[in-house]
Structure formats: C-alpha cells, structure tokens
Chains A and B, each alone.
Chain A
Amino acid sequence: MASMGETATRKGLRYVDDRFGSAGFLRRSFNKAFPDHWSFLLGEIALYSFVILLLTGTYLTLFFHASSEVVTYHGSYAPLRGVKMTEAYDSTLHMSFDVRGGLLMRQIHHWAALLFVMSIAVHMMRVFFTGAFRKPRTINWHIGVTLFILAVLEGFAGYSLPDDLLSGTGIRIAYSVMESIPVVGTYLAYFVFGSSYPSVTGDFIPRLFIIHVLLVPGILLALISAHMMIIWHQKHTDFPGPGKTEQNVIGSPFYPTFMIKTNGFLFMVFGVCAFLGAFAQINPVWLYGPYNASQVSAGSQPDWYIFFLEGSLRLMPNLESNFWGHTISWNILIPGVILPGIMFNLLYAYPTLEAWITKDKAYHNLLQRPRDVPVRTGCGAFGLTFYGILYIGGQNDVLANTFHWSLQAVTWVLRVLIIVGPFIAFYIAKRWALGLQHKDQERLHHGEETGIIRRLPSGEYIEVHEPLPAQRAAILAAQLGIDPHEHGALPSGNGHSNGHSDGHGNGQSPGLIRPVGALSRAREALEGFFFERHDSPSDGVDDDEPKTLNRP
C-alpha cells in the first residue's frame, strides 16, 4: 500500500503533467547522465559564485546610495569623521561599520566576484585545452567568451562604485582610454561620464550603478541560462574511458545523485567565500579615503582581472602621432583598446579557425588531452604566456619595489618577453606534447616498464615490459588517433584520423588536387603546420630487438 507521502507526491506530479505533459521530460531529466571529472567542476564554481553574487549583491543594494552628492561623514569609523565625501562612499562606510554583517556581505561579494572571473578563466582553459569547444559546442564557446568579457566589465563596474581613491583612479584611467579613441573619443567619454571625469553633473555613479546591478547582470543571467540549456541539450563531454564512446555519455544520474552532489558543491563554494569574507580583508575602502582628483596612492592596483590591461598600458612604448591638427595617442589606444579587442576576437574565432584549418566537420563528444593536439596546446600556451606577461606587467612597480630591482629594467625585460615569450612557450608546449605522445606510443608498442631486468641467452640484458591491458590500450590508441587493431600504424593527424578524412564529403582526397586560391593554399599550409610532427613516430622504436617479453 502506498504511503500518504507517496500518494501525495504522485498526485502532485500528475497535476503538473496534466497541464504540461511533463512526465516524459522529467523521466529523461532525472536519468540524465552527468560525467565525473574534477575539471568539470570549474564551470560549476563560476555558476555558484554568480548565485552568491546575486544574493550578496541584492543585500548590498539595500544600503548603497548611488549618488555623488557630497556629504560629511558622521559614522562609526573615527578616522574619517568630518571628512567630506560622496554619498556613495559614505553609504559604503555605513554598511561596513554600522550594519551588522554588512562588511561580511561586502567582503563575500568581492571575493565571490574575484572567484567568478577566475573560475570562468580556468574553465575556459579546460574547455580550450581539451577541445570541448569543437562542433557541436562552438556556439556555447562564443557565449562563454561573452560571459567572460561581461564578467570582467561587471567586476570593474562593481569595485568602482564605492568612489574611493583607488576605484576613482581606475575610472579616471578608463576615462582616458575612452578619450583616446580617434574621432569620437572625447564625445564618447563626455556622454558616458556625463561630462569630464570626475563628473560635475553627478550622473556618472547612478549610471554605473544601474549598469552594475541591472544591465550587465541581466545579460549575464540570460546568457548563463542559455549556456546551461545548451549544455543540457547537447549533453556534457567526457574524457575517453572504459565503455565511453562518441555516442554515449556515462555518469551519475541527475536525480538524485548529481543534484545532491552539486548542491553540496554550491554550499562548499559559498562556505569558502564566507570564510574569506570573514578572515581575509578585501578592498578596505576606508583606508584609501574618498576619491580626490588631485591624489593617488603609490602601488595602486586594480582587481586581478584588470591587471592585463594595466600591464599593457605600462609596457607600451610612448608613441603618439600628431597630424593635421589631430592627435592619436597610440600609447593608450593600442594597449587599452586595440590589443584587448584582438585578444577577445581571437578567443571568439579560435574554434572556427581550427575547424577551417583541419577541415574538421565531425561531431566531437569525447575530449582530447592537451598532448593529443600539440599545436592547439602550443597556441594556448602562446596566449596564456602573452596574457601572463601583461599580468605581471601590471605589477612592475610592486615587483621592482619588493625585490629592489630597477623599475626600468623590469619594464624592459617584460617588453622583450612579451614579444619572444609567447613563441618560446608555443615551442616548449608543442614539443612537450609531442614528447608525451611519443611516450604514450612507446607504452602502446612495448607496454609498461616492469623494472625487471632479464638476461637473454645471448648475454644481452633487457628490461621486461608488460603489455597494457586491452581496454587501456584501446583507449590510449584512440587518444593517439591510431586504429586500435593496428598498433604500428602511423597516426594520421592527431586523433582526427576518422572525422578528418570522412569530413570532406566531396570524395576528393586532399593533396591530389592542388588548391587554387591563395586562401586555400594558406589553409593547406596551416593544416600542414597543425599536423606537423617533426619526427616520424617510428623513430621512437629505435631498436628492433624484441623488448616486449611476458613477465617470467
């Protein structure tokens, strides 16, 4: 006999199903498989930090006054009593010192914001280096890049709101960057800021506020929903493993296992942010003082995700052009506008570029390891190194100060590194990936080393290798793009063997017909570069002696 609870639940579900026909959807959703891998949690961290940001942010709006009206401070924080400041700064002090838990919420909000952008960045690296952006997930990659850019803007808008000395300095730089745009720069800056900055009209802080609490979060919310729904629809990718194919996905059922687990993870992320908010001070605006257009403190540093822009502004040589009564300030325009534009556009374009170069039109649900696609891994290392040097450049004064180096020397070293570093990183990453592939091939050919040395009748000593278990060997072979039944075969291009050759569909094998246009020749050259291996894989088998012996 069904219990009361069960009957009630059934009734409830029937009620919904009668109206929406939801039973089929629920059945499929409950059973939906969610694969397990630690790196799949990175996106979840981003999602949950966003939830935390919405919760704590809503709380903060209950106390924040988005106004640049000048008032005199009379709150609990003694050192600033009697000081004139904007209402924005005054209300930030109020919520920090006179609202119980206000400081905690502010600090959790700020930590969660840092975590939000950071987890998006690391999640993007995971997606990039494992090839999860490939068809059919290209559009979701584009949404993801947009989310990253918006998250950076949202963070900048957020920490600029309190109108303290540090944030005001940041906005003044942003204002100068806007002003540097040719032709429309000054107009753009005047319209956005409501006049020059700091705004005499007082319109700027309310504008920034609505951008920070409504406009950008609204877009973020919509795009995050789209991002999740596309993941839900397309199903998650997974690494190759026992029983895993391109046609299936194996994992915990959404209900109840994944739901319980992911809720636990939400609380963990929230808990860590609460811990940081409690014990790790962040953005103590009361120490900086209110914004004053004639002051700036040494060692002014933005939040981490702005470092790369700060660094590009710092490392840029001092170029400026004057002609026909006009000025182009390359020293700001290039590092502040053009460079980030190029960087983000490359991020958008990469999946399409790679598919175009490799002629890869196949669906991909199984992930690759970074070593499986050495050129992509090299490109990733190139980009990360470029970004990383800009990031370090944003702290050149702190570095020089801490290590007693010359500021000029640090800057010049970084200026050189920004040019050569990425190429070195590309080369190292690519060779590293190829080396790892090489090692995998050896394991596939000869098996695992056992550490047992045997002496042959001829007197020669060899190490006994144990063949890999069949399943492991099959997975490894698939990852290396080798037909599992012919271990000696040449890998035909980094795991693309099948999708690649089948993907043409026009029946012509590449190479037979010489590409005509300059574009197709360029593509062909790039494809050659993409699949270039430097040495034939058989080089690793430098010894013809049978090394593979069974364990005695």
Chain B
Amino acid sequence: MSDEPKARQARKIGRRTPVAEQSGQTSMTMAAAADEHATDGHGEFAIKHVDRDEQPGEATFAELQVAACFAVAALAVVGFIVSYLMIDPRAAIGRYMNFALGGTLAIALLGLGAGFILWAKKILPPDKVIQQRHDFFSPEEEEIVAEDTFLKGVADMGLGTHKILRRTLLGAAGLLPLPAVLLLRDLGPLPRTDLRHTAWGKNVRLVDVESQQPIKIGDVEIGGIVTVMPEGHTDPDENALSPTILIRFAPGQIRSKKELAWGHEDHVAYSKICSHAGCPISLYEQQTHHLLCPCHQSTFDMANDANVIFGPAARRLPQLKITVDSEGYFIAEGDYSQPVGPSFWERG
C-alpha cells in the first residue's frame, strides 16, 4: 500500500479508520500497479485484460446465436400483431387470445433478453475494470469548515439569545399543522354510536337474502341455515353489520336456556358478523352445530349460545331476539342488545 492514507492525522471526532489502514490484506492486492495514483481521479481505473477461451469460428457462431435470438423476437412481435388483429376478441379474449398475445409477447421479450445477454457474454470483450474505492468521509479540514459554517449559521440566527423570536417561531410552527389536521376532519363522519346499532328493530321481519322474501315458520328445514337481512334494509353493503343467520334446530338440541328463550320454536337468530375481524361467518356443520369463520377459523358452538370453542375470536356471536308476527312471519323483537362485529375501544 502506498503510505498516502497513513499521512492522515488521528481524527478528533468519530472513530472511523481509513480502510487502507485496517485492511491488512495487502497480500491479496493484485492490481498494485493501479495503486500509484489511486486517489487522483485518473488512476482510479485500471483495465484487467481477460482472454476469452475461444475456439476458432466461435465468434461467428456467437454472432449467429445472438442474431437468431433477435430474429425470433422480431417474428414474435409479428405474431403478436397478427393475433391481435385476427382473433375475434368477443369470443376468445379470456381464453386463447390471452395465450396468443401473452405467448408471443413473452417470446419477443425473452428472445430480446437472451440476445442481449449472449451479446454481452460472448461478443463484448470480457475485460474487467479494477476501480479504486475511496474513503467516504471528507478531508478533516473540509469537515471542520462545514461544521463551523453550520454552527456559525446557528449562532447568526441567534435562536439561543433571541428568546421572544424563538418562542413566537415555535408557536407559529406548532400551530401551522392545525389547519391541515382540520382539513382532514371531513374525511369521514364521527363514529358516534354507529357501531352499536344495526338496521334491526322491533317487529322488523327477517328477509332471506337470496329470495328477498320474508321467512315463515316451516320455510327452514330442521338443521337448515339461512342468511337474513332486516326487511327494508336488505342490501348488505349498506347495512354491513346487519347480516344475520337463522338456524333451525331439531327439538331438544339447543343446550342453552337463554338461547332457547331468545329464539322461537327451535329457530334462533345470530349475528353473521364474526366477533373477531368482521368476516361474514359462513361454514356451518350440521352434525356438530359448529359455525366456522373462513377467515381465521374462529369456531362457535351454535347449540350453546354461540360459545367460542376455538380460534382467535374472544366473544360469542350476539343473538337476535326473535318471535313471529300475527301472519306467522319471523320478526325481531328489537335490535341486538350488544354491538355486533369486531371489538373496538369504546365498546366496553
């Protein structure tokens, strides 16, 4: 190694050591010739000539290989254009038109890519560049000048001495973000008590989401399960907390007294919205009466007041009190008695 880096004085700030001093790998340095003027800019690069191990005629063959790749790419582009214009889009866009367009495009791109890589590997000179690295830190004098300039600026600004200036500045700078915060206020309404209510209410009929018809006793088979919405608010997207399931048990299957009391003749209604992350629970096992959420596998025992028997959900599904009206249709006796869906801070 040249002794240029060693001429450097010990540094006052920081504990960086120039690379040259701490490497100790001089024995590995091959490009010693390039080190002479390693830092002057013009000695930064040295070219290491590498001979290509090449058979006679290989260069011509390499050129042919590259040319073949480019030719295939060009042909594939033609193929793309032909496919685009010739294939009837209405009939085939999701099927073989996609294969034809994508296939030809892929061949064109891969051909071009392969050509470029072969070109670089087989035709361009395999020479290597040996480039000297520099230490990243600046000469110490320069660092000190920069630091001094910065510190002088700080002193000139006089924030340390001009107390009133400093305090009013802090005040103004502190207040300035407030308009931005206020402007964000109308991003959404305040939650208020939204999350505590659903569209269910007293005497609201249970409507089957599929058929959009109110449900009577006898419409659901024993062991059957139906997703229902409150009459008049049957669009789930506008009433995301309202989806409810109506399950009919065989007599004697319900083990919870409260569940039986809140239901009507072995029909019970529970919120469909998982008490964990709000997915609509949809997998019902008729034999075990287990309801499984497909999102995170929380499992509820529907014969025992939707008790959580497995998974990350912490709470039972809320039950909707139901009865029947004079015409024999199922109606809710009121809204859910507790918030539906995932937990939140104000839930309590």
B229 to chain A, nearest CB (A): 7
Could you say which residues of chain B place their CB within 8 Å of the CB of A234?
136
A187 at interface, CB cutoff 8 A: yes
Whether A365 and B133, one on each chain, are in contact in the complex, defined by CB atoms closer than 8 angstroms, is yes
Cβ contacts A169-183/B at 8 Å (1 or 0 each): 100110111011111
Contact of B344 among A101, A179, A243, A292 (CB under 8 A): A179
- Given known pairs A272-B110, A397-B297, A502-B17, the reply for A263 and B99 (CB within 8 Å) is no
A146 at the interface (CB under 8 A from B): no
Within 8 A of A (CB), among B309-348: 310-315, 341-348
* Residues from chain B with Cβ under 8 Å of A361 in the complex: 14-17
How many Å lie between the Cα of A24 and that of B44 in the bound state? 12
Majority SS of interface residues in chain B?
A: loop
> B106 to A278, Cβ gap below 8 A?
yes
Is the CB–CB distance between A483 and B237 below 8 Å? Answer: no
User: Is B131 engaged at the interface, CB distance under 8 Å to the other chain?
Assistant: yes
B348 touches A327 (CB 8 A): yes
B280 interface hit (Cβ, 8 Å): yes
B124 touching A278 by the CB < 8 A rule? no
Instruction: Flag B242-285 by CB within 8 Å of A: 1 or 0 each.
Output: 01000000000000000000000000000010001111111100
Tell me, in angstroms, the Cα distance from A355 to B224 when the chains sit together. Answer: 63
Tell me if A503 and B15 are in contact (CB < 8 A). Answer: yes
The answer to whether A246 and B312 touch (CB under 8 A), given A169-B295, A504-B15, is no
- Contact A300–B184 (Cβ < 8 Å): no
CB-based contact A268/B190 at 8 Å: no
Q: Which of chain B's residues have a CB closer than 8 A to the CB of A411?
A: 297, 310-311
| Chain B positions within 8 Å of A192 at CB level | 187-188
The answer on a CB contact under 8 Å between B97 and A100 is yes
Q: Residue A242 at the B interface, CB < 8 A?
A: yes
- Whether B103 pairs with A266 at a CB distance below 8 angstroms is no
Q: Which residues of B contact A265 (CB under 8 A)?
A: 113, 116-117
Contact pick for A318, options B130, B135, B311, CB 8 Å? B311
Q: Is the CB of A295 within 8 A of B282?
A: yes
| CB of A294 within 8 Å of the partner chain | yes
Residues of A within 8 A of B190 (CB): 187, 190
Q: Mark B42-82, 1 if CB is under 8 A from A, else 0.
A: 00110010000000000000000000000000000000000
A76 within 8 A of B: yes
List residues of chain A with CB within 8 A of the CB of B239.
Answer: 293
Q: Mark A493-513, 1 if CB is under 8 A from B, else 0.
A: 000001100111110000000
**Residue B303 interfacial (CB < 8 Å):** no
B28 touches A478 (CB 8 A): yes
**Which residues 182-201 of B have a CB within 8 angstroms of A?**
184, 187-191, 194-195
Contact B294 A326 (CB under 8 A): no
Q: A32 vs B98: C-alpha distance in the bound complex, in angstroms? A: 42
B34: nearest chain-A partner, CB-CB: A248
C-alpha gap A505/B132 in the complex (Å) = 25
B6 within 8 A of A: no
Contact of B150 with A by CB under 8 A: no
Name the A residues within 8 Å of B191 (CB-CB): 186-187, 189-190, 196
Which chain B positions have C-beta within 8 A of A320? 314-315, 343
Q: Chain A CB within 10 Å — which of B189, B191, B296, B311 has the most?
A: B296
B165 within 8 A of A: no
Instruction: For the complex, give the distance between the alpha carbons of A292 and B236 in Å.
Output: 6
Number of A-B contacts (CB under 8 A): 371
Assess whether A318 is in contact with B277, with CB atoms less than 8 Å apart: no
Does the CB pair B28–A363 fall under 8 Å?
A: no
For chain A, residues 198 to 215, give those with C-beta under 8 angstroms from any C-beta of chain B.
Answer: 198, 200-201, 203
**Contact present for A173 and B89 (CB under 8 Å):** no
Q: Does A53 contact B (CB under 8 A)?
A: no
What is the minimal beta-carbon distance from A243 to any residue of chain B, in angstroms?
A: 3
A480 CB to closest chain B CB (Å) equals 13
Residue B94 contacts which of A77, A190, A266, A296 (CB distance < 8 angstroms)?
Answer: A77
Say yes or no for B93: interface residue by CB 8 A criterion: yes
Cβ-defined contact, A271 with B113, below 8 A: yes
Q: Is the CB of B116 within 8 A of A191?
A: no
Q: Note all chain B residues with C-beta closer than 8 A to A506.
A: 15
B343 engages A474 (CB within 8 Å) = no
The 8 A-B pairs of least Cβ separation, nearest first, read: A278-B102, A264-B116, A267-B113, A271-B109, A271-B110, A243-B30, A320-B314, A505-B15
For the A-B complex with A245-B23, A326-B346, A502-B17 known, give 17 more contacts whose Cβ atoms are closer than 8 Å.
Answer: A96-B94, A97-B93, A173-B277, A186-B344, A194-B187, A201-B188, A242-B28, A265-B117, A268-B117, A277-B98, A296-B281, A300-B279, A314-B311, A332-B277, A361-B14, A361-B17, A484-B27
A-B contacts, 23 of them at CB < 8 A, read: A31-B129, A98-B90, A101-B101, A108-B102, A172-B240, A173-B295, A191-B188, A194-B187, A242-B28, A243-B30, A245-B23, A248-B131, A264-B120, A268-B113, A278-B101, A294-B209, A296-B294, A314-B297, A318-B298, A322-B347, A329-B314, A329-B343, A474-B28
Question: Residues on B close to A: CB < 8 A?
Answer: 10-11, 14-17, 19-25, 27-31, 34, 38, 41, 44-45, 48, 84, 89-90, 93-94, 97-99, 101-103, 105-121, 124-125, 127-133, 135-136, 184, 187-191, 194-195, 209, 227, 229, 236-241, 243, 272, 276-283, 294-298, 308, 310-315, 341-348
Interface residues of A (CB under 8 A from B): 24, 28, 31-33, 76-77, 96-104, 107-108, 136, 169, 172-173, 175-177, 179-187, 189-198, 200-201, 203, 234-235, 240, 242-253, 256-258, 260-261, 263-272, 274-275, 277-279, 291-300, 310, 313-320, 322, 325-329, 331-332, 335, 361-363, 365, 396-397, 407-408, 411, 471, 474-475, 478, 483-485, 498-499, 502-506
